[in-house]
Structure 1
Amino acid sequence: MDIINYSASYKLLALARGHPYERDAYAALLSGLEEFDVCHVEQPVAQRVLGPAAAEEFDAIVCYDMPGVDFTSADAPQLLSPSARFRENYLDMLDAGVGMVYLHHAIAAWPAWPAYAEIVGGRFHYRPATLRDRQWPDSGYCHQVNHRISKLRDHPVTQGIPDSFEMTDELYLCPVFEDDVIPLLASDYCFEDDHFYSAASAVGGTMYSREGWTHPKGSHFVGWVKRQGNSPIVYLQGGDDGAAMSNKYFRQLVHNAVRWVSSEAAHAWARSNST
């Protein structure tokens, strides 16, 4: 919506940029949240907004952004660390308590900041990296996968979603901290390296290649909830392009996620699990 909805009951901050994306499709994905005034901010300006004040200003934040990866450097992709001040502000924001929804390539953001992977529940690698003291190869991707997503449990995020549904989207083969998340959705796709392509090869100019590349078997989880500090968190792996974002069930999942993380019930759950 182009106008500011001053009478809206809730306020949503929607972040993007760092990875190519369809702006109109992303805006349309969030347009059905009538009770929210949606404020779109792109990276790197978004970094100035994220901090404890954002937890007071906004009821939820949707992250469809991917800062921290420089594809223009001579040694691309160059991994950039956020400033110490940004890291402190971000963690203080989560301790203050704000609903967070991470979508698709947001799992690849800030790869040089280990705490970010812990917040989201995993990490997509554009180049080999160390994560939790384990060496990982670059991650895998596969575009235009027609797969079936199954609902693993009843939850406010999956309310109104059928037990299974089909979706065409890009999928990732990357580390997921399965023991640290509550899984909500799983894909029937084969998460093994012979069904994916090397992200490092793609960045290097060779798309759809797995020559000389191997990767450990990956997780079937494509949606989960967790918490960080006092903040309820949802990650949904879907949403690569306009067709994926227009899938009615994915759209419902995103809307459910935004509404849930904004709720007092979600915040009470996050606080009750805080240490």
Structure 2
Amino acid sequence: MARPLLVLSGGHPYEEAPFSGLLDSLEGWDVTHLVHPEAEAMVAGGAADDAEAILFYDMPGYAFSDGTVTSRPPSDGFKAAIRRHFGSGRGAVTMHHALAGWADWPDWAEMVGGRFLYQPGEVRGREVLDSGYRHDVRYTAEICADHPVTRGLPETFELIDELYLAEIFEDDVEPLIRARHDFTADNFYSAAHAVAGRMFDNRGWAHPRGSNFVAWTKRVGDAPLVYLQFGDGPKTYRNPHVRQLLRNALDHVAGHDPTIGAEGAGT
């Protein structure tokens, strides 16, 4: 019997048909795909309550207009539904721009294990600069953990995808994959500059060196969460290694790891 999977998207542009192809490749899952802004109210109303896992490919809580960005927190009902999901021991996979979601809900960053900022702000009581982005980076992904999520993957594989220079809570996550790339300001562009209409610009932006983690796992209470930074567009959606990672990650957070015995299931 197919397992119920809730997929959330919206708040950030993406190519819908290729992304649907990625979802269609998830054998064994009964997919319900909700898109913001309607998704927020539907989750608050109970849409996530029966899901064995949630796939977050969304970036809600922002409004971009005339060179400015404003943000807001989710509704109390949405917050309660997400906490209820994790509190039941059921997990989630977060992909790509989900790292930037809900800028005004600090608990979200703690759940995911990091935060991408579109403007300078405060993270964990510390003032930080806006984050960085770089599209179409050709790089090598290197497996750095023997884990059910990386099962069946080669030790290294090649990608052409977007990378982030963001706030990653390295001490709170278990790294699964690192990118062989130099995570310095010279190799990224300022998100705040992009919001202001100056795309692909890093002038005067002195962001400190960042983390090379591009996939990790952590706990949200008693529930597992996996973050995969991969996912900027169709080339990545079609990548067989990314598809394998996503299948493995969903199995893991739903407690269906065939590589572990019943005693360790869901851990």
TM over 0.5: yes
Q: Does 1:174 align with 2:166?
A: yes
1:18 and 2:11 aligned: yes
- Tell me: CA distance 1:85–1:218, structure 2 relative to 1, closer, same or farther (3 Å): same
Match of 2:38 among 39, 42, 45: 45
Size of the aligned set, in residue pairs, is 264
SS of residue in 2 equivalent to 1:88: helix
| Identity among equivalent pairs (%) | 44
1:105-254 matches, within 5 Å, as 105-254=97-246
CA distance 1:81–1:165, shift in 2 (3 Å) = same
2:28 corresponds to which residue?
Answer: 35
Q: How far is 1:102 from its partner?
A: 0.3
Post-superposition shift, 1:157?
0.6
Q: Which moved more, 1:43-52 or 1:233-242?
A: 43-52
User: CA distance change for structure 1 residues 268 and 231 in 2, over 3 Å: closer, same or farther?
Assistant: farther
**Aligned-partner SS, 2:139:** strand
Once residues 49 and 93 of structure 1 are traced to their aligned partners in structure 2, the CA distance between those partners, rounded to angstroms, is 14
Q: How far apart are residue 234 of structure 1 and its match?
A: 0.4
In 1, Cα distance between the equivalents of 2:45 and 2:146?
Answer: 32
Q: Secondary structure at the match of 1:165?
A: strand
Amino acid at match of 1:61: I
Structure with greater strand percent? 2
Q: Is the 8 A contact 1:51 1:93 kept in 2?
A: no
Greater Cα offset, 154-163 or 89-98: 89-98
Aligned residue type for 1:222 = V
Query: Counterparts of 1:270 and 1:252 in 2: how far apart (Å)?
Result: 20
Aligned-residue offset at 1:55: 5.5
- TM-score of the pair, normalised by structure 1: 0.90
| Residue number among 63, 66, 70 corresponding to 1:70 in the alignment | 63
Shift of 1:30: 1.9
Aligned-partner residue type, residue 241 of structure 1: G
Q: Distance in 1 between matches of 2:79 and 2:244?
A: 32
> 2:174 is aligned with what amino acid?
I
**8 Å contact 2:254–2:266 — kept in the other structure?**
no
Q: Is 1:259 aligned to 2:230, yes or no?
A: no
SS of the equivalent of 1:219 reads coil
User: Counterpart in 2 of 1:3?
Assistant: none
> Separation in 2 of the partners of 1:270 and 1:133?
36
What are the ranges of 5 or more consecutive residues in structure 2 without an aligned counterpart?
A: none
CA shift for structure 1 position 98: 1.9
Equivalent residue letter for 2:83: L
Q: Give the structure 2 partner of residue 9 of structure 1.
A: 2
Q: Deviations over 1:146-178 (max 9, x none)?
A: 000000011111011000011000000000000
One-letter amino acid of the structure 2 residue matched with residue 29 of structure 1: L
Deviation at 1:76, TM superposition (A): 2.0
Asked whether the 8 Å contact 2:12–2:97 carries over to 1, the reply is: yes
Name the residue aligned to 1:81. 73
**1:63 shift after superposition:** 0.5
Q: Tell me the secondary structure at the aligned position of residue 77 of structure 1.
A: strand
Determine the C-alpha separation between the residues in 2 that align with 1:179 and 1:125: 19
CA–CA distance in 1 between the matches of 2:265 and 2:132? 32
